[in-house]
Amino acid sequence: MKRFRLFLLISSLLLSLGLTLLKVPLASSQGTTLIASYTNEALPLQDPDAAAWNNTTALEIPLSAQMVTAPIIRETKIKSISVRALHNGKQVAILLEWTDNTENAQSIRIQDFPDAVAVQFPIGSGQPFFCMGIQGANVNIWHWKADWQADLLAWQDMQDAYPNMRVDVYPFAQGDRPNPADYQDVTYLSGVAAENPLSLPRLSPVEDLVAGGFGSLTSQPQTSQNVQGYGVYENGKWRVIFSRDLTSSDPDDVNFVVGDVYSIAFAAWDGANGERNGQKSTSQWVSLQFESAPPTPLLQPAEEENYLIRGLTAQTIFLMYLSVLFVLIVIAVIIYFRLPKEG
């Protein structure tokens, strides 16, 4: 009996040693850190189906209705959002995916509200309040809007909302839609002259903003609008890619260093539910870690290649280890029962 207990103890120790050496966890759970995986290729800035995204790990972020300050909405439709991230040492791309039963990409009528999504970063150190930051601790917000993207793809006007509408005169019926260059007097372009963000030509469906508390949200100047975006609505889901250079000279922009960890938060709007402005779903802060590039391998002297070991993964080696251990245990059991009994 003593020998049998000794046999079980040795077997357990061998198994524990194998699990430890191969770093095999006995249990696992989803972490709260979003890893921006490194790639040495160009980032898929407008392709949510690109194979590069398969090399990333998705993080499911829970969302809840913003209930801190007016205007609030007690029941929002977007309950969670799936996030992936990539970088190549020069740019970062963040892919967000969420379920939405309707595509809302118009804001022509006053009763229409577009679908939208945003990511938020602290500009300084620490984690300010996750809803728009606080005074003295600003946040940088990237806000993608479905109607802005629709306008870039094809200009929308009142006839898109009311296709059978009639008008008295169409002075520009022939030719392209008038641009500011078509006018001779800036009086007719007062919004552009005042640099109203809603009047200026849009170069991206993403608005680059800065905030330091409720009521302080400010659109950055057009020369500082350096965030790109691209969204696709398909099969009841939105997939939106944000992208920007890792570094920016703008003082109101977040800067990223490969290998460091940052805070990131998310917000989403379902236009069909009347969500706009502060009526939105928000997340708490989560961590964003930029994966370092793998070290360049040093040149080694040519050696005879070991074809037996080449290409074996840790899981394969672990299975081989278990197989050998099983054989040893079977042999030990056979030997044990063939030994003469004590007394």
pLDDT at 318: 61
**At residue 161, does pLDDT exceed 90?**
no
Locate the domains of the chain by residue range: 2-24+313-338, 39-171+203-290
pLDDT at 304: 45
pLDDT at 320: 74
What pTM value is reported for the model? 0.75
List pLDDT tens digits, range 141-151: 999 999 999 99
Looking at the chain, how many residues does it have?
343
Residue among 213, 108, 200 at smallest CA distance from 162: 108
CATH architecture of 39-171+203-290: Sandwich (2.60)
d(CA 66, CA 72): 6
**At residue 4, does pLDDT exceed 90?**
no
List pLDDT tens digits, range 180-231: 666 667 677 888 888 888 888 888 999 999 999 999 999 999 999 999 999 9
d(CA 61, CA 251): 29
Residue among 154, 155, 145, 109 at smallest CA distance from 267: 145
φ, ψ for residue 98, nearest 5 deg: -150, 160
- Contact between 64 and 281 (Cβ < 8 Å): yes
**At residue 310, does pLDDT exceed 50?**
no
d(CA 78, CA 270): 7
- Contact between 51 and 68 (Cβ < 8 Å): no
Which 3 state secondary structure label does DSSP give 122? strand
Q: Which residue type is seen at 177? A: R
CA angle 140, 143, 147 (to 5 degrees): 160
Residue predicted with more confidence, 332 or 155? 155
